[in-house]
């Protein structure tokens, strides 16, 4: 009995150590991806109409529509997206930055090229282009 408890404890410790390493290394990797945009990521034509609006439509508006806006965040209109962008919440939540609720809530972050494009559009002043 005692031996099997020790074994269980050792096993749990191993899982804990392993998952901490994984968590820390993935945090580091995220930062790296922001510093060096992924190669082959073309950010030139990431306008609101052609790119941002469809991205919101595909990933966010199911829970953030004008009719039913979770957390009062509206992402199916330009004004709604712009106001989330200006507050810093749009990019903060999508990039899983600390201090923001990670979005989408499924836990799967959008890919780094999408995030780079969103960041670039916000940095340009979130134009209605």
**Which positions touch ligand HEC (CB under 6 A)?**
59-60, 62-64, 70-71, 73, 75, 84, 89-90, 93-94, 100-101, 103-105
Q: Which two tokens stand for residue 29?
A: 């990797």
Q: How far is the CB of 4 from ligand HEC (least distance, A)?
A: 40
Q: What are phi and psi of 59, to 5 degrees?
A: -120, -20
Q: Report d(CA 61, CA 57) in Å as an integer.
A: 5
Q: How far is the CB of 54 from ligand HEC (least distance, A)?
A: 12
When the beta carbons of 13 and 60 are compared against ligand HEC, the nearer one is: 60
How many C-beta neighbours within 10 Å does residue 23 have? Answer: 10
When the beta carbons of 89 and 117 are compared against ligand HEC, the nearer one is: 89
Q: How far is the CB of 89 from ligand HEC (least distance, A)?
A: 4
Q: Which two tokens stand for residue 37?
A: 């945009």
When the beta carbons of 37 and 92 are compared against ligand HEC, the nearer one is: 92
Q: How far is the CB of 27 from ligand HEC (least distance, A)?
A: 18
Q: Which two tokens stand for residue 18?
A: 């392993």
First-to-last C-alpha distance (Å) of the chain: 68
Q: Report d(CA 57, CA 64) in Å as an integer.
A: 9
Q: Report d(CA 78, CA 94) in Å as an integer.
A: 17
């Amino acid at each position: 009995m005692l031996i099997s408890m020790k074994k269980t404890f050792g096993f749990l410790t191993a899982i804990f150590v392993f998952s901490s390493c994984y968590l820390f290394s993935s945090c580091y990797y995220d930062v790296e991806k922001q510093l060096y945009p992924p190669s082959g990521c073309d950010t030139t034509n990431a306008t609101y109409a052609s790119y941002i609006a469809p991205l919101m439509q595909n990933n966010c508006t199911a829970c953030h529509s004008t009719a039913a806006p979770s957390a009062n965040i509206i992402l199916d209109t330009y004004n709604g997206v712009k106001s989330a962008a200006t507050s810093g919440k749009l990019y903060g939540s999508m990039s899983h930055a600390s201090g923001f609720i990670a979005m989408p809530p499924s836990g799967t972050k959008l890919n780094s090229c999408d995030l780079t494009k969103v960041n670039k559009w916000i940095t340009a002043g979130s134009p209605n282009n």
